[in-house]
Amino acid sequence: MKKLILAILIALSPILCMAQDKPAYVLYNKDGSRTTFAKMLKDALKNEVVLFGELHNNPIAHWLQIELFDALYEKEASKIVLGFEMLEADDQLKVDEYCAGYISDKNFEKEARLWPNYSTDYKALVDSAKARRVPVVATNIPRRYAAVVAKEGLAGLEKFSTEAKKLMMPLPLKVDFELPAYKSIIESGMGGAHGGQNFVSAQAVKDATMAHRILANLPPKSIFLHFNGAFHSDGYEGIVWYLNQYKSKLKTLTISTVLQKDVNELDKEHLQKADYIICVPENMTGTY
């Protein structure tokens, strides 16, 4: 009898430890069932594009980005491409020069328009790719063009040169204002009473440009691991919607990051948000 009790306690010990610990995150699938990093990795390897939706100041998301890149590289080193919302298309030459070792950290970080949290949240990824000779793609539209759209609408892009238009998605651009994420922006009043559609269009040019540049830099039989704010891929909208517009039957996997007071069960509002959902305690320390 004592041996039986001991065996049961040994078997239950991992569960008991989990109940007593304070997990830094719990990983769920889109239906709200708990899952594992190993399962997410296995599924990522089956896809052409993996969109890792982050909260920009969340250290758990940034850590798991590195872990996923490392794991994918270990399995398929020659097939991986990295892309960043946080890098703009007109800085691609500087990115290439830096990753090739032609220019210094100092010059790259001074001359490229890097986000304020680059050094804490993205530099490790870029430098890891550099060391491994993994291509790094700046996928976002230059912010000055998005600013024009926010002010003048999509028509404002037509005045730019052919060279400028190479840094954005193909024109003309279709924007579906009925997509839930875009519709919620308009209904929230963001962009002002008369600027709601322009504000959505400014988001759409980012989504469409990222999708366009992902596909333009996706070699056959490769895996493009892309880092973006969760808004841009949640609900299979944003970047995902434009990827499907540009190339049907593309195999895409999405990851999202959410905050909850209690991470032991995924809130209903987060169900179906992505294929995999990283649920982090809402009091987690931010990187900024």
Residue type, 157: L
CB 76 within 8 A of CB 45: yes
Name the pLDDT band for 195 (thresholds 50, 70, 90). low
Output b/e per residue, 116-131; b: 16+ Cβ within 10 A: ebbeebbeebbebbbe
Q: What is the helix (H) or strand (E) element at residue 256, kind and residue range? A: strand 252-260
Residue 176 pLDDT more than 50? yes
Beta 252-260 vs 49-54: how paired, if at all?
Answer: parallel
Q: Which residues does 152 contact at the CB level (< 8 Å), separation at least 6? A: 198
Residue 194 pLDDT more than 60? no
What tokens appear for 252 in the block?
């895409």
Name the pLDDT band for 8 (thresholds 50, 70, 90). very low
Report the C-alpha gap between 130 and 94 in whole angstroms.
13
**Average pLDDT in the 54-64 region?**
98
State the pLDDT at residue 189.
Answer: 81
**Average pLDDT in the 94-118 region?**
98
What percent of the chain has pLDDT above 70? Answer: 91
| Strand stretches in 20-149, DSSP E | 26-29, 49-54, 80-88, 136-140
Residue type, 275: D
pTM for the structure as a whole: 0.92
Residue 148 pLDDT more than 80? yes
**Average pLDDT in the 33-46 region?**
98
Lowest mean pLDDT among 21-25, 55-59, 94-98, 252-256: 21-25
Select the CATH number that applies to the domain covering 24-281 from these four: 3.30.565.10, 3.40.50.11550, 3.30.9.10, 1.10.4080.10.
3.40.50.11550
**Average pLDDT in the 240-260 region?**
98
Q: What is the helix (H) or strand (E) element at residue 165, kind and residue range? A: helix 162-165
What percent of the chain has pLDDT above 90? Answer: 89
CB 233 within 8 A of CB 181: no
